Copies of this chain bind each other. A is one copy, B any other.
Amino acid sequence: MPVSEAQQQEIEQLRDASVPTLRATVPALEDMLYRALPVLDQGFIRVIDYMGDDAAVVQAARVSYGRGTRMVSEDRGLLRYLMRHRHTTPFEMCEIKFHVKLPVFVARQWIRHRTASVNEYSARYSILNREFYIPAPDQLSAQSQDNRQGRGAVLQGDEAIRVLDILREDAARNYADYQEMLNEDDEGNVIDPNRQGLARELARMNLPLNIYTEWYWKCNLHNLLHFLSLRADPHAQYEIRVYAEAMMQALRAWVPLTAEAFEDYRMGSVHLSAAGLDVVKRLLAGEDVTVKDSGLAPREWRELMASLGRAG
């Protein structure tokens, strides 16, 4: 269960304490504030705080004085122009903070984005909970045969059952051994008074990479979009993509015009090289271009034809 009953009560308390502010405020994101969006079997994201809105991006682009009085249609046009032409600094003027619960192997991918602020639950100080990610059966994919970094068909029958058994049993045993090394049981009591218990910073090394951790993760809107463009992408590993997709929901509530422009111009967009553009122009002029006279390497040619929806 991602969120305990006590946590749920605390969330409700926080949601009862409305106060007045003069800051830019977004009612649709206020509706989501503090609430957990479940992700994977035991994870979640929660929006804890935010700063700015679509208008703050516009204001920074105009370096206008005050929050501005232009009509929304003009703001939308400006935001789309900024997104299309990759004018990124105005998007840095908004900030968002998430509370995330996620498996350690996902955290290891995630942390490679260096432009965020992070405070993670410390397994040097504290004891991790017995919570492990076990994939749903429809996510138990085989290794892809043609892409070293991808998934193939879903495992079936005995092989699937065996994998789930291994993951569950190894997690259970490694966690039990973690507790034995710590000499501490589920209630925090000493197991054997004649033993000292291994230091937490050492015992943790026995835990497998599917154990859950938690962190606060805060970044600006520009860096969030960069994260989402990589992690909400079909090439991202499923287990991080579902977090990115939950964050997309928060994005749409928070900055709807920016989110729309982002989905139109960056998600699903393609990049044409000068040589690729030349091929497109020749095709449009009715020429019958082949890989041989295209000036492209075979791999680039295949990528280009695929993005144009043509047989290579």
Interchain CB contact under 8 A, A92 and B14: no
**Total copies of the chain:** 4
Q: Tell me, in angstroms, the Cα distance from A173 to B293 when the chains sit together.
A: 55
Q: Which residues of chain B have C-beta atoms less than 8 A from A310's C-beta?
A: 284
Interface majority SS (helix, strand, loop, mixed), chain A: mixed
Most buried by B among A112, A177, A281: A177
A105 to B218, CA, bound (A): 23
Q: Are the C-beta atoms of B220 and A144 separated by less than 8 Å?
A: no
A21 and chain B: residue at smallest CB distance: B21
Within 8 A of B (CB), among A176-223: 177, 180-182, 195-202, 204-210, 214-216, 218, 220
A38 at interface by CB-CB < 8 Å: no
Q: How far is the CA of A268 from the CA of B34 in the complex (A)?
A: 39
Q: Which residues of B contact A67 (CB under 8 A)?
A: 14
Chain B residue contacts of A14, Cβ below 8 A: 22, 66-67
23 A/B residue pairs, CB under 8 Å, sorted by A? A7-B66, A18-B21, A21-B23, A49-B51, A51-B97, A59-B216, A60-B216, A63-B216, A80-B300, A92-B218, A93-B218, A103-B205, A142-B199, A143-B198, A150-B199, A151-B199, A152-B196, A167-B206, A170-B173, A205-B208, A208-B209, A264-B273, A284-B310
**Contact residues in B for A63 (Cβ distance below 8 Å):** 119-122, 214-216
Known A-B contacts A21-B25, A124-B237, A207-B209; A143 and B275 likewise in contact (beta carbons under 8 Å): no
Q: A202–B140 contact, CB under 8 A?
A: yes
Q: Which of A126, A133, A309 has the largest number of chain B CB atoms within 10 A?
A: A309
Complex Cα–Cα for A93 and B216 (A): 8
A52 is an interface residue with CB less than 8 A from chain B: yes
A155 to chain B, nearest CB (A): 6
How long is the Cα–Cα vector from A17 to B271 in the complex, in angstroms?
41
- What separation, in Å, do the CA atoms of A253 and B214 have in the docked complex? 31
Residue A299 CB within 8 A of the other chain: yes
Known: A50-B51, A59-B216, A142-B199. 15 other contacts (CB 8 A): A19-B25, A51-B51, A51-B97, A63-B215, A63-B216, A77-B297, A108-B108, A140-B198, A142-B197, A142-B198, A144-B199, A163-B181, A170-B173, A206-B208, A284-B308
Known A-B contacts A63-B215, A269-B272, A284-B283; the reply to A277 vs B307 at CB < 8 A is yes
Q: Which of A66, A126, A276 has the most CB of B within 10 A?
A: A66
Chain B residue nearest in CB terms to A119? B60
Q: Is the CB of A20 within 8 A of B23?
A: no
Chain B neighbourhood of A300, CB < 8 A: 80, 84
1/0 per residue, CB under 8 A from B, across A106-122: the answer is: 00100110110111111
Say if the beta carbon of A174 comes within 8 Å of chain B. Answer: yes
Contact for A195 among B126, B148, B159, CB less than 8 A:
B159
Within 8 A of B (CB), among A128-145: 133, 135, 139-144
Docked pose: A52 CA to B167 CA in angstroms: 40
The answer to whether B268 touches A281, judged by C-beta atoms less than 8 angstroms apart, is no
